[in-house]
Amino acid sequence: MKYVTLPAGEQAPALGMGAWMIGENRSSRAEEIAALRHGIELGMTLVDTAEMYGEGASERLVGEAIRGRRERVFLVSKVYPHHAGRKEMPAACEGSLKRLGVDCLDLYLLHWRGSVPLAETVETFDRLRTQGKIRHWGVSNLDTGDMRALCALPDGGRVATDQVLYNLSRRGVEWDLLPWCEERKIPLMAYSPVEQGRLLRHSGLRALAEELGVTAARLALAWLLRRGQLIAIPKASSRAHVEENFAALECPLDDATLAELDRLFPPPCRAAPLEML
């Protein structure tokens, strides 16, 4: 496994697993659990979920998948913006811990910015941290302006990551957010790294992957993972997809391949609002 260093100095896996839209269908439950367990065995031990996903169904499934393996997993969950205040967050966190069957989250993220002041959210995250309910906290879907405001707050500099939409077909963050985070050594966490599967149907990407003798998923993930301080969290609900995604850690990308990817998916040439799914 490749690792990134969090601002607090701890290492976290650069390739993890997402858990949106899992745990919602009884018939696929066993396969989803087996896929997550297989990924953990391979070393993709960072697992990303949220109280929002299936209104707790994803956290319950992840809890079942990690039972007996808790100490090997870097567990990430997210709080709804309307639960991000000092009164609501402790109960929301307890709910996530209970559904996951754990005493502590490794990373707790604000899912997106809502109406609760960031200062109140940071203060509450920090209280949960000192109480041992969470080990690190971070944010999701915050743009560069939001990140500047966050980092200007007392303790705001403790932010461990910003989880944002980033993949070959969504390169807007390269304009400002990514360099801004890189400069401050805050790892970005790329969600929907294969654009929920849509990227894998791109004819140009498929042709290039075929030429290189790899799959489109492997190439798209390798392109993200070539960055030193980036975490990618593809969601896969089968062992075969998990294995293919894991193989992205070993997928050489030479200059010609990178240039062809830039031709197929041009980098941004101006600032644009942060995209979200």
Ligand X SMILES: NC(=O)c1ccc[n+]([C@@H]2O[C@H](COP(=O)([O-])OP(=O)(O)OC[C@H]3O[C@@H](n4cnc5c(N)ncnc54)[C@H](OP(=O)(O)O)[C@@H]3O)[C@@H](O)[C@H]2O)c1
Could you give the residue numbers annotated as active site? 53
Q: Give the nearer residue to ligand X in terms of CB position, either 99 or 235.
A: 235
Q: Where are the alpha helices (DSSP H) in 131-215?
A: 144-151, 177-183, 203-212
Check binding of 200 to ligand X (CB under 6 A): yes
Among 155, 195, 260, 275, binds ligand X (CB under 6 A): 195
Check binding of 42 to ligand X (CB under 6 A): no
| Number of H-type helices and E-type strands within the chain | 10, 10
Q: Where are the alpha helices (DSSP H) in 137-227?
A: 144-151, 177-183, 203-212, 216-225
Check binding of 277 to ligand X (CB under 6 A): yes
Binding string to ligand X for residues 158 to 187, with x set by CB under 6 A, is what?
-----x------------------------
Cβ at position 53, least distance to ligand X in Å: 7
Q: Is 269 exposed, middle or buried (0-12, 13-18, 19+ CB in 10 A)?
A: exposed
Among 140, 144, 161, 257, binds ligand X (CB under 6 A): 140
Cβ at position 140, least distance to ligand X in Å: 4
Antiparallel, parallel or unpaired: β 230-232 and 3-5: unpaired
Q: Choose the stretch contacting ligand X; rule: CB under 6 A; options: 66-74, 202-210, 238-246, 254-262.
A: 238-246
Q: Give the nearer residue to ligand X in terms of CB position, either 154 or 211.
A: 211
| CB closest to ligand X, residue no | 18
Neighbours of 115 (CB within 10 A): 8
Antiparallel, parallel or unpaired: β 11-13 and 17-18: unpaired
Check binding of 20 to ligand X (CB under 6 A): yes
Letter string b/e over residues 141-161, b meaning 16 or more CB atoms within 10 A of that residue's CB: bbbbebbeebbebeebebbbb
Binding string to ligand X for residues 105 to 124, with x set by CB under 6 A, is what?
------x-------------
Task: Kindly give, in sequence order, each residue whose CB lies less than 8 Å from that of residue 181, ignoring residues fewer than 6 positions away.
Answer: 147, 162, 187, 188, 229
Which is it for the CA torsion 132, 84, 119, 86, positive or negative?
negative
Among 45, 121, 144, 245, binds ligand X (CB under 6 A): 245
Check binding of 142 to ligand X (CB under 6 A): no
State the Cα–Cα distance between residues 44 and 2, nearest whole angstrom: 10
Which residues in 71-133 belong to E strands, given as ranges?
A: 74-79, 105-110
Q: Give the nearer residue to ligand X in terms of CB position, either 169 or 229.
A: 169
CA 157 vs CA 160, 181, 216, 225: distances in Å: 8, 11, 37, 24
Q: Give the nearer residue to ligand X in terms of CB position, either 45 or 141.
A: 141
Check binding of 238 to ligand X (CB under 6 A): yes
Cβ at position 126, least distance to ligand X in Å: 21
| Binding stretches for ligand X (CB under 6 A) | 18-20, 48, 111, 140-141, 163, 191-197, 200, 217, 233-238, 241, 244-245, 277
